[in-house]
Structure 1
């Protein structure tokens, strides 16, 4: 057989191998794409797979999801860094106080403004909170006026978290809570009050007033109310949500978040 004929056979064989290789690559890519597509699909919205609600005993009209999401919790590594605990009598007094006006403590004085109130419990070092906040922002941007988000700072990771929570609550008194929160959510750690005040000054806050408010009894009382609310609803970590009458502890998919909001929209305004 001539060398030219052999060369032709080898060339054809090479083309066959390359064709099979491309086909296998395409098949492999399709399989990978299918797997990731299935994982990303909103399975929680399929018939029979939607949100399942359970009434919370002793907390009518509130209900919870049968299953929660992913949460961040404090750990033994931070024991000793937390601010001094309230006495048992003070803690019980705070719980009774928020129970006496649960909607007011959760949602503030504008609970009847027509929007679905969302009480949001967060901790600036909570990674799941960051994802949930983006999803909440997307919902608010897509349909303005549907939700009214009420911020509840719940520091569970020690002294640094407590410092940030005080700064956040104090900044709300100057109408700049969210810009301050967004800036610090992008930072790894709030080390001291000096770093807080430097960022606050950069955002245009009155730093003298901020420092004074951070140390005030009013800010301490607000954080105490948040701790009491977290206790009432049985939160064990952040994020925590009360969307209308639906209580959820943990981050969830945006599709499930939208379904809960749709379910709340279909119901009469919450009365409590």
Structure 2
């Protein structure tokens, strides 16, 4: 949806077309008298009232042009940051590690739309079978988000990738505040070493990983969750399952 200033820009473009037609006549608009200028404005207004579809055509053209420019800019951002996106050496990799399409998700455990996307992303990966999934810990919604991410990363460092996957899934559905007692019970329920994980949460390596992911998100102009890189395309925000399936097939056809 265009913002008000952008819609006014589209209107200005429309009026510019009318002005262009006027310039084909034998007078210079810059030299119009106040009376001529008023008459010209009235003529433009009358034309737009009689042909309001012209405004919508200009708005649609501007929207399409902006979308194409944004897509091109996003493609360049993905290319410029490919190593950090796809091969940073520490982000969890799930799905099929040798899959022909890679999906990267920037996620926050306390984000409602991340939680909505969570089962659908899982369904996409499991039903497809040939998707490599990279998960970026991107806590941006307060201290509870940071605590959850530090706990998940500490689990990976102490217990490995499988345990991380279990903890990630549990945190995505956790309704309670991630206090130490709650996280301890979660770890113990999964048969993990709660003492070791909790002790590891203050590790500077965890801080470094979160900071690097935030820096990457800034470079990618990502300021919300969930955000995805699907193949070489940026996807900002929640996308329904069927739409994501179509995007995966499109990425395959272009590879």
Fold conserved (TM > 0.5)?
Answer: yes
Cα offset, 1:165, TM superposition = 0.7
Instruction: Please name the residue that 2:232 is paired with.
Output: 245
Shift of 1:208: 2.9
Q: 1:55 to 1:187 in 2, by over 3 A?
A: closer
Shift of the 61–184 alpha-carbon distance from structure 1 to 2, 3 Å rule, reads: closer
In structure 2, the gaps of 5 or more residues are: 1-66
Corresponding position of 2:150? 166
- Output one character per residue of 1:228-254: Cα deviation in whole Å (capped at 9) or x when no partner: 121111112110101121111100121
| 1:119 Cα deviation after fit | 1.1
Q: Find the counterpart in structure 2 of residue 195 from structure 1.
A: 182
Please report how far the alpha carbon of residue 61 of structure 1 lies from its aligned counterpart in structure 2 after TM superposition: 6.7
CA contact (8 A) 1:56 1:62 kept: no
Q: Describe how 1:43-192 pairs up with structure 2 within 5 A.
A: 54-57=70-73, 60=76, 62=78, 102-108=81-87, 113-144=98-129, 146-173=130-157, 174=159, 175=161, 176-192=163-179
Which ranges of 4 or more aligned residues in structure 1 deviate by more than 6 Å?
Answer: none
- Contact 1:118–1:149 (8 Å) recurs in 2: yes
- Distance in 2 (alpha carbons) for counterparts of 1:184 and 1:120: 16
Between the aligned partners of 1:207 and 1:159, the Cα distance in structure 2 is 20
Q: What are structure 1's unaligned runs of at least 5 residues? A: 1-51, 64-98
Aligned residues: CA RMSD: 2.6
Say which structure, 1 or 2, has more relative contact order (CA 8 Å, 6+ apart).
Answer: 1
Q: Name the TM-score, length of structure 1 as normaliser.
A: 0.59
Q: Which residue of 1 aligns with 2:192?
A: 205
When normalised by structure 2's length, the TM-score is 0.63
Q: In 2, distance between residues paired with 1:209 and 1:104?
A: 31
1:264 matched to 2:214: no
Q: Distance in 1 between matches of 2:114 and 2:243?
A: 16
Q: Distance in 1 between matches of 2:180 and 2:226?
A: 24
Change (3 A) 1:164 1:247: same
Q: Which residue of 2 aligns with 1:255?
A: 242
Partner of 1:15: none
CA distance in 1, matches of 2:74, 2:241: 29
- 1:178 Cα deviation from its structure 2 partner: 2.2
